[in-house]
Amino acid sequence: STLQDWRPFNKTRVYMSDLESALHYSLRVELSGHISISGDDLIALKKYINVLAKYFPGRPSVKSALNTVDSWLQLQKGLEIKYSDFRDVLDNTVQTSDAVLPEGVQWVGCQGSQAHFRGYPCAVWTLFHVLSVQAKEMSNPQDVLQAMRSYVSSFFGCRSCATHFESMAQESMDHVTSLSTAVLWLWSHHNRVNNRLAGELSEDPHFPKIQWPSPELCPSCHGLKKTGEHNWNQEEVLTFLRNYFSSGHILTDYLQ
Ligand code: FAD
């Protein structure tokens, strides 16, 4: 099915609608495949919700829903939880507050030219880039990366993606010791994935896999070595990422 009508959007911006849709899909669809959650999966879920509660730059009602789930999870000291209990807390069936995560998905910056392209995986990357730049001064530089690592390993539906990501994480993620290198780690490894997937059938022809950001999007990010080879100006890339994924730069069009 071809998407005849694109929701008009700016290809060079981040949309809150994609981030909230990613939360909906991960917490209500992906996780719901696990009737009970225990062991490493439970640890992964706790870490994931904890970084979301700390860093998700969302609307007050969404942040409040994440905080509620985080506090509840921290109190769960048993070996396992039931997904249905988690879901009740998320959907706030007991309380009468405005804490709520909107239902359903509405992809905007992550729209694909056909239904099977982009969407959730695009929004997962976007979400973790946003979280990585939100982590400030007092944060542990490993926080966001390890939360992503264990979430992907325990729950991400694309299992071959999870295997690839885990092998990259094993190689070098533990060497990250500052918040800046955490932001750059995620960017450079996302580019490694882009490089591997360029030209594959999974690539949306309207969104070719490139080494990102393009020279048009960030001229100063690109340079040349003495040998004439391409060279990333990492300081410029860092500045660019910290602006591109910053909360003040996220567009709120199409929010439910
Ligand atoms: P995406 O790669 O999803 O990127 C989303 C948006 O982020 C882009 O539109 C762009 O605006 C921005 N962006 C692009 N590159 C960067 C960068 N380097 N740094 C910061 N922002 C950037 N698919 C497979 O077929 N095989 C796999 O092994 C695989 N592994 C994956 C592992 C993980 C952890 C994830 C989250 C996804 C994986 N996927 C894999 C899916 C794949 O990476 C894409 O998400 C999917 O093909 C959709 O691509 P996209 O065009 O929307 O761009």
The pLDDT of 217-227, averaged and rounded, is: 97
Per-residue model confidence (pLDDT) at position 98:
80
pTM here is 0.97
Number of structural domains found in the chain: 1
CA-to-CA separations, 184 to 99, 148, 177, 188, 254, in angstroms, rounded: 33, 15, 12, 6, 30
3 belongs to a structural domain: no
| Mean pLDDT value across residues 177-182 | 97
ipTM entry? 0.99
SS (H, E, C) 221-238: HEEECCCCCEEECHHHHH
pLDDT at 96 over 60: no
For the beta carbon of residue 44, count every other beta carbon within 10 angstroms.
Answer: 21
Q: Whole domain around residue 40: which residue ranges?
A: 16-249
What is the pLDDT, as a whole number, of residue 100?
87
Query: Mean pLDDT over residues 141-167, rounded?
Result: 98
> Does residue 126 lie in a domain region?
yes
Q: Does 7 fall in a domain?
A: no
If one compares 1 and 248, the residue with the highest pLDDT of the two is 248
How confident is the model at residue 95, as a pLDDT? 58
Of the listed ranges 56-65, 86-95, 181-190, the one predicted with least confidence: 86-95
Amino acid 157: pLDDT = 96
Q: Which of 122, 150, 238, 241 should be mutated for ligand 1, with most atoms under 8 A from CB?
A: 122
- The answer to whether residue 245 sits within a structural domain is yes
Q: Does 4 fall in a domain?
A: no
Distance CA 235, CA 180 (A): 9
Tell me the percentage of the chain whose pLDDT exceeds 70: 96
In degrees rounded to 5, what are phi and psi of residue 100?
-155, 140
In a domain, 202, yes or no: yes
pLDDT of residue 3: 52
One-letter amino acid identity for 178? S
Ligand 1 centroid to Cα of residue 31, in Å, is 20
Average pLDDT estimate for 175-190: 98
Contact by Cβ (8 Å): 147, 48: yes
Instruction: Answer whether residue 8 is part of any domain.
Output: no
Specify the residue with its C-alpha closest to ligand 1, atom 6: 122
Assigned domain for 11 exists: no
Question: How much is the average pLDDT of 25-29?
Answer: 98
Q: What is the pLDDT of residues 113-147, one digit of tens each?
A: 999 999 999 999 999 999 999 998 789 999 999 99
Per-residue pLDDT at 256: 87
CATH of the domain at 138: 1.20.120.310
Whether the CB of 188 sits within 6 Å of ligand 1: no
Assess whether the C-beta atom of 149 lies below 6 angstroms from ligand 1: no
For residue 4, the CA-to-ligand 1 centroid distance in Å is: 23
